[in-house]
A = this chain, B = another copy of it.
Amino acid sequence: MNDLSLAAARSLDDQDDLGPYRGRFDLPHGRVYLDGNSLGALPKATMARLAEVAQAQWGQDLIGSWNRHDWINSPVALGAKVSGLIGASPDEVVVTDTTSVNLYRLIITALEMQRGRHEVLSEAGNFPTDLYVCEGATRTFGRDATLRVVPRDRVVSSIGPSTALLLLTHVHYKTSDLYPMAEITAAAHARGALVLWDLSHSAGAVEVDLAAANADFAVGCGYKYLNGGPGAPSFLYVARRHQARALNPISGWHGHARPFDFTDEYSAAPGIRRFLSGTPSILANAALEVGLDLLLEAGMARIAAKARRLTGLFIALVESRCADFGLTLMSPRPADARGSHVSFSHPNGYEIMQALISESVVGDFRAPDIMRFGFTPLYTRFEDVWIAVDRLRHVLETECWREPRFAERASVT
């Protein structure tokens, strides 16, 4: 990309075969939204789908909807759709609960499978809830389970004979650093460890091939790149080869082989369904399905290719137009080593981001000094990238971020 003009960006949009997908979203007017990696945008079809499920199904058919509208299979049906985005088989994924609950569930699952190994190994600075959940899981599991956290560059070398599970986030939430999944998984397997991949910043953003990586377990988020709505249900993946002996610690009735026999004893369902627990939110699942359908229609290969170009253009523009303002690129320069967001650090990153938001460019801030910009290929234009950098330059040039109004820290950024 040698031509960094607005006209060139617009020309890229004109040639972009994903361009029309932007029209499928209900976006706020006049804003450049670069935080779809935190909360994806609203698909236009979502409201109609919610109305159908609430009014025609819940309202009119009531309890009969569990059969008539196949609500009972919603978690596995949605799981099958997610599988098409992450290189898994349809019978290896289920949509259920939150990412935190799914992390807990699979950490315990892995510890139970790995008798004789007590350690969960993870990365310092991993997404916090991964580490938090692991603390609780290892504490309550008993049998001396422990969490060990090491710096990123020592993760692989730290896998040892007591490592039961390696818990990693595929694309780092701050830096966008992307782990080579197949290579790391192979290294863990060679030392007898299983791997749990958190795909929260990967699914819907980059190409993931769990089958090719011979992955064991994965979880991911429904409300970021999958556009499932705030707090949308999460997904979990368990490789088919593990399913027969992998047990769900939260052994609720929806994971029972015959939930409507109402027997006193638990009998795990065969296959991925055993990882269900309670009754799924059908409204939340309905909204997520709309987001999944859009991604499947567009295709992950095209989405990931555009993500690389959007993030590449952003880096090139910032480095060209905002040089000498003290910004430092925190994300990998090679496109295939990063996710679909880009971070720059700056000592006044918080205030700069606040000023940028007031200029209608919405990114977010992560302590201590990181400005994070997410590029969601279905509704972000190359022109948006250009506008964002133009306004960033304006904010930096005018130092408007030094105004006191930009220094108040909100509780959620």
Chain A interface residues (CB < 8 Å from chain B): 26-28, 33, 35, 38-39, 41-42, 46-47, 50-51, 54-55, 58-67, 71-72, 97-101, 103-104, 108, 112, 124-126, 128-129, 131-133, 135-137, 139-143, 149, 223, 229-234, 247-256, 259-266, 277-285, 287, 362, 364, 366-367, 410-413
Contacts and interface: CB of A to CB of B under 8 A. Distances in A.
Given A112-B140, A260-B411, 8 more contacts: A35-B62, A125-B264, A126-B264, A131-B264, A133-B252, A136-B250, A230-B281, A281-B283
Nearest to A366: B262
A67 B252 CA distance: 34
Contact of A283 (B135, B249, B262, B284): B284
A33 B362 CA distance: 48
A248 B136 contact: yes
Give me the 7 closest cross-chain CB pairs, A-B, nearest first. Answer: A142-B142, A98-B278, A100-B252, A136-B251, A100-B278, A42-B59, A129-B253
Contact of A65 (B103, B135, B230, B364): B230
Contact of A101 (B26, B101, B136, B364): B101
A250 B133 contact: yes
B54 A104 contact: no
Given A100-B253, A128-B253, A234 B136 contact: no
Which of A50, A126, A137: most chain B Cβ within 10 A? A50
Nearest to A125: B264
Nearest to A365: B260
B101 A250 contact: yes
A208 B57 CA distance: 31
Which of A230, A247, A265: most chain B Cβ within 10 A? A230
B411 A133 contact: no
Nearest to A59: B42
A98 to B, nearest CB: 3
Which of A64, A149, A264: most chain B Cβ within 10 A? A264
Given A50-B50, A253-B129, A266-B132, A229 B278 contact: no
A337 B318 CA distance: 71
A223 B278 CA distance: 12
Which of A60, A234, A262: most chain B Cβ within 10 A? A262
